[in-house]
């Protein structure tokens, strides 16, 4: 008896494999053609950004902003699709890079205009205060502009006198991009400062001591800046409660009588303790 093995199933499998390979090859080629076509379309002049319009910037130079923007739209995605394409340009990257490069800029709005024009609307921070470096128990001339939320954003020129309210502390070699203290706490602190005027106290300087406690020094032209009368309080103190405590002290003898006259000989009022408020005259 002669045995034989059928080769038909094997041939059928080979045909199926070949057919599958052809299909895969065709799909691959179609995808490749599609990618190349989309790549070419993404580079067509009708879809490329023609220009940028920048407005709202008073201090930051437009050409400096453009350098950052152009660095983000140069090149291609995956070596195929142009980053200058008005439909797929890296809007989020541009915004993040501009904000990171220019600390004076607080916000940027990017909009698509007509004729492939992109508009960048800039909002800049304004200098409300000065922060000055203080370390090794000495003041330096190194001062920076501070926004209303306590954010340090730019080096400041030298100012004589008290044109700006000043903050002194030590924040390292490069304070730009840092907050003097946490933003919400800073706003409460400034509210406290402004309320001091109701008590006939005009602070001109805020000092964060080495131990972390705070000092407000009063404005008095007869004194050296650091020899002026001051109030001292803790970092963790509630500013509203501190204000009430100070108000009570100033209504009590001996400070209640002719406070403005006594101010010239006052050294400090210390509000850091519960149940007592030490103060000292010269």
- 183-209, pLDDT tens digit by residue? 999 999 999 999 999 988 889 899 998
How many domains, in total, are found in the chain? 3
- 122-154, pLDDT tens digit by residue? 999 999 999 998 865 566 678 999 999 999 999
Q: Which residues contact 31 (CB under 8 A, 6 or more apart)?
A: none
Which pLDDT band, with edges at 50, 70 and 90, does 172 fall under?
Answer: confident
Look up the CATH number of the domain holding residue 226.
3.40.50.11690
What mean pLDDT value characterizes the chain?
A: 87
Give residue for tokens 């008073």.
Answer: 58
Q: Which two tokens stand for residue 10?
A: 């094997």
Strands 203-208 and 214-218: antiparallel
- 213-232, pLDDT tens digit by residue? 999 998 765 557 788 899 99
Choose between 128 and 266: higher pLDDT.
128
Spatial distance between the Cα atoms of 146 and 149, rounded to a whole number of angstroms: 8
| Distance from the first to the final alpha carbon of the chain | 129
- 197 and 265 together in one domain: yes
Rounded mean pLDDT, 150-173: 87
- 1-27, pLDDT tens digit by residue? 555 555 566 777 777 888 888 888 888
The answer to the question of residue 257 being in a domain is yes
Considering the entire predicted model, what is its pTM?
0.80
- 70-100, pLDDT tens digit by residue? 999 998 988 888 999 999 999 999 999 999 9
The answer to the question of residue 119 being in a domain is yes
The percent of residues in the chain predicted with pLDDT above 70, rounded, is: 92
Which pLDDT band, with edges at 50, 70 and 90, does 67 fall under?
Answer: very high
Look up the CATH number of the domain holding residue 80.
3.10.20.310
CA triplet 101, 163, 132: central angle to 5 degrees?
A: 50
- 63 and 103 together in one domain: yes
> Residue 99's pLDDT is what?
96
Q: Is 256 left (phi over 0), alpha (psi -120 to 50) or beta?
A: alpha
Domain end call among 171, 192, 209? 171
Residue 158, domain extent: 125-171
Q: Does residue 116 register a pLDDT over 70? A: yes
Q: Which residues contact 14 (CB under 8 A, 6 or more apart)?
A: none
> Residue 26's pLDDT is what?
85
């Amino acid at each position: 008896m002669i045995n034989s093995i059928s080769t038909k199933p094997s041939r059928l499998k080979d045909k199926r494999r070949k057919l599958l390979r052809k299909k895969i090859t065709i799909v691959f080629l179609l995808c490749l053609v599609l990618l190349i076509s989309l790549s070419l379309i993404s580079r067509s002049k009708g879809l490329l950004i023609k220009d940028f319009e920048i407005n709202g910037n008073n201090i930051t130079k437009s050409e400096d902003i453009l350098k950052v923007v152009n660095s983000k739209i140069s090149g291609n995605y995956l070596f195929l699709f142009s980053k200058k394409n008005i439909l797929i340009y890296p809007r989020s990257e541009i915004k993040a890079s501009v904000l990171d490069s220019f600390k004076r800029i607080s916000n940027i709005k990017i909009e698509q205009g007509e004729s492939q024009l992109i508009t960048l609307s800039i909002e800049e921070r304004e200098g409300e205060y000065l922060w000055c470096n203080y370390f090794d128990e000495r003041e330096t001339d190194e001062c920076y502009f501070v926004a209303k939320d306590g954010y340090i954003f730019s080096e400041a020129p030298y100012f004589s006198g008290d044109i700006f309210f000043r903050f002194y502390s030590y924040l390292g070699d490069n304070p730009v991009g840092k907050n003097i203290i946490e933003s919400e706490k800073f706003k409460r602190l400034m509210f406290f400062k402004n309320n001091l005027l109701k008590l006939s106290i005009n602070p001109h300087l805020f000092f964060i001591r080495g131990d972390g406690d705070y000092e407000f020094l009063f404005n008095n032209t007869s004194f050296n800046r650091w020899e002026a009368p001051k109030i001292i309080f803790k970092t963790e103190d509630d500013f509203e409660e501190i204000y009430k405590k100070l108000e009570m002290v100033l209504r009590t003898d001996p400070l209640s009588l002719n406070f403005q006259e006594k101010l010239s000989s006052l050294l400090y009022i210390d509000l850091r303790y519960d149940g007592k408020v030490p103060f000292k005259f010269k």
